[in-house]
Amino acid sequence: MTEYVKDGEVRLKYVTLENCKIAELSCEKIAFEKCVFRDVVFESDFDDEIICIEECEFRNCRFHGNLGQSYLILEENFFKECQFENISMDFYADVSHIEGNGFFNCSFKNVKLEPESDFSNQYFSGGKMFFLEAAICFQTSFSICNLRMWNYMPFLLTIKCIL
């Protein structure tokens, strides 16, 4: 990944990465746009970074780590058969923006999101959630189809399901 780091930022656009691990990125901003990730493990701890992921495709990827006080922008991404495990996010002054993402047969385990985040137009089909703790507000449309949830602890959670 070092070839993609410039001035403290990682920027990937129209890049395909397969069968690799992305870990311990130390930069101020991470931006992925219109990229394809297959069988990639994302394993990093972040704090105060800006993470912007737009119009990307993730297949059979695994996500682990602490997002700290990072600001997230996740828009129009496609996740299929991905695993999100042992992920936490602390309070941040700005509200993260997560809009228009699709999660198909993904699993979420030990995920803790504390900041208020703007979730809108999310789609979940299949998959599982274990030990999810969230202080988030889902706005506008939020679709859930055939999703199994265990030990879910909502705080400020409002869901409008469109089936």
Q: Which residues of 98-128 are buried (b: 16+ CB within 10 A; e: fewer)?
A: bbbbbbbebbbbebbbbbbbebbbbbbeebe
Separation CA 53–CA 25 (nearest Å): 15
Could you give phi then psi for residue 59, rounded to 5 degrees? -125, 125
Q: Using one digit for the tens of pLDDT, what is the confidence trace for 65-92?
A: 877 777 888 999 999 999 999 888 766 5
Q: Which residues of 8-30 are buried (b: 16+ CB within 10 A; e: fewer)?
A: eebbbeeeebeeeebeebebeeb
pTM confidence score: 0.80
Read out DSSP for 95-139?
A: PEEEES-EEES-EEEEEEE-S-EEEEEEEEES-EEEEEEE--EEE
Residue type, 112: K
- Residue 143 pairs in a beta bridge with 123
Residue 33 DSSP class: E
Mean pLDDT of 12-21: 94
Q: Using one digit for the tens of pLDDT, what is the confidence trace for 85-98?
A: 988 876 654 677 88
Q: Which of 62, 22, 25, 64 is nearest to 47 (CA)?
A: 25
Q: 101 vs 6, which has greater pLDDT?
A: 101
Q: Give the CB-side neighbour count of residue 37, counting CA atoms within 13 A.
A: 27
Residue 159 DSSP class: -
Would you kindly state where each structural domain of the chain is located, as residue ranges? Answer: 18-154
